[in-house]
Every structure is written in C-alpha cells, then in structure tokens.
Amino acid sequence: MKFNITQPDQALKIQLEHKINHKTKPLGALGMLEAVALQIGLIQQTLAPQFSHATMLVFAGDHGIVEAGVSPYPQAVTAQMVLNFLQGGAAINVFTKQNNMHLSVVDSGVNYEFAASLDLIHAKVAMGTRNFLSEPAMTLAQCEQALTRAAEIVDTKVAEGCNVFGFGEMGIGNTSSASCLMSVLCGLPIEQCVGRGTGLDDAGLVHKTKILAQAIAHHHLSSSDAMQVLATFGGFEIAMMVGAMLQAATKQCTLLIDGFITTAALLVAAKLQPEILHYCVFTHCSDESGHKKMLDYLQVKPLLNIDLRLGEGTGAALAYPLVLASVNFLNQMASFESASVSQKI
C-alpha cells in the first residue's frame, strides 16, 4: 500500500491567523484552541472548516507475548471487551454517544471467531500475533495486509462523509508491543518505556521489563526500518491503526490521537510519512509512564492531562468537544469589527 502525505498548503495561514486574532477576545486568549483552529483550517484549506460524520475506529487484536506473563489479565479479555463494545457497555460507547461520534469496532486479529452477524468490521489478519520474545509478531506480508485493510476501511468512511477520525484499540498485551516500538524507534532504554499497563504490581513490572529487554536484544533491529520494527513487535490492531492513520492523512482528514498505544502507532506512521504530524491533534497525555516521553520525542503538546490510561480511544472522544469548539469559535464568534467592539489601543 502506497501512501502519499503532503504538508497542507500554507497559503491560507495569514488569513486564518487574521480571522483568529480579530475575534472579540484578547490576542491568544483562547490558548491551544487557537492553534487547533489554525491547524484544522489548514488541513481543510478553508477559513470556515467544518467537521462531518466524526468517527471513532477501535481496532482489536491479540498478542502472543502474553504467553510470557506480561499482563495481569488473560488473553480472553480482548474478545470479551469487543463483545462489550458491541453491546454498548464500555467507556468508549458512553463517550462517543455523548459527543455524537460514530463508533466502529474492527476485528484486526482477535484470537476468537466472532459471529458474522455481529455489527463488527471483520478484518482479521490472523488469530493473534506470535510471541515476539522468540520470533517476529507477524510477517511483513501480514503487516502490509493490515495496513491495506485499514486503509480500505478509512476510504469507506471518507466516502460516507467522514473528515475527522479518532483512533482507539483493545488488546491484552498491547502496552508491551507499544513499549518495544517506542524503545526501538525513539532510541530509548526499555526501562523508560515500560509501564504497568492494565495494573501490574511491582514484581510484575520488573518481569515485564526483563522480558521486553530480552525481546529487543533478540531481534536487534534498526530504528530506520519502521515496517520491520512494526512487524516484529506490533499487534494487528496497532498495524491497522498505522494504516488507517496514514490513509486518513492522505485523504486530508483530521486525526485525533489517543493515548500510549495509539501514539505508538502514530510514531510508526510518522517514521514512514513524517508529514502526517500536520494532521494530528494529540488529545491527551496518558498516565502510562512512557507516553509523555513519546509526546516529547514527537515534539507535540496534548490538549488534556487528566490521568487517563484506559485506551479504547477514550481520551480522543473526551477531547473531541474541545477540537469542535476550536472550529466553532472560528466560525461563529464575532469579530471586533462585526460586533462594533473597540480593540486594544
């Protein structure tokens, strides 16, 4: 799958800044909302941007690395949570419903056979990845397949009118994948990348760190080959997020980036196509210990920091009203001239 992401044309920047700066407020008084308004205007190439058919894509997949005891939860929880999503019972269901976002759940590679009749996007690459402690999680062909299937899902949503995507995930063991991706691609010691995931105790954290260090040493990969790094340590849900993000940016959509695992997928995407960062709004800083370092590495600033560490896309869904507010103030707020309000002398 070929992706071609270009930086948004900057020709409108001066006009957008003028429109933002002449609203009835002190200069810069809406803080980060002003930066987001400028960003969305440039992405959409208009002085009056609009969001339509906001969609949250939640990708689910299982991980062979759980065989090494890196998670306190059994692998079966992945499938159980997918069914919970489909029944409307998860946090992401609550927050997307509250904020009028469409929710689509994607079986990227869950180790479970879901009934064909379920309201689920069936895109399974395999029944979970292999254990990357001893072998690559997936083949390069499977990795490419995941990217292509995800791009096709995005194309379908764009054809339905979507121009803003949130990304979420579910997969027991996927903080281990994300930690390894971060360590190799950012050139950081694994100790700085590993967190407690779904709630490891101190002994569990020590064990997880040791296992992941062994895995990284075993494969000895270069940060310059992002696809090989993704195939070696990724999950099918992470690989699909990479493909979905790349295609959404190619289609000039706005990307709402969630927490630690979603940002790890974006990290891979940015290694493949650096211009993707122009299309990303980083919605929050996760309480998972490595996330702030990853955001710092990408040199980006998140909208929220409220100690979330759930995944599922919950941070992106919660931040969407703020992103929407940035567009609404740009379109609806009066200017000094239209409101006959005197400007600063």
**95, 317 in Cβ contact below 8 A?**
yes
Residue 26, sorted as left (phi over 0), alpha (psi -120 to 50) or beta, turns out to be: beta
What is the spatial distance between Cα 60 and Cα 78, in angstroms, rounded to a whole number?
7
Catalytic annotation, residues: 312
Look-up: residue for tokens 């196509």?
Answer: 273
DSSP 253: -
User: Side by side, which strands form the sheet with 254-257?
Assistant: 121-122, 102-109, 55-61, 164-170, 254-257, 280-282
**212, 232 in Cβ contact below 8 A?**
no
Query: What Rg, from alpha-carbon coordinates, does the chain have?
Result: 20
**35, 16 in Cβ contact below 8 A?**
no
- Tokens encoding 64: 């062979």
Which ranges of 1-139 does DSSP label H, i.e. alpha helix? 13-21, 32-44, 76-87, 91-98
Q: What is the largest CA-CA distance in the chain?
A: 70
DSSP 217-250: HHH---TT-HHHHHHHH--HHHHHHHHHHHHHHH
- Compute how many other C-beta atoms are within 10 angstroms of the C-beta atom of residue 288: 23
Look-up: residue for tokens 């062979």?
Answer: 64
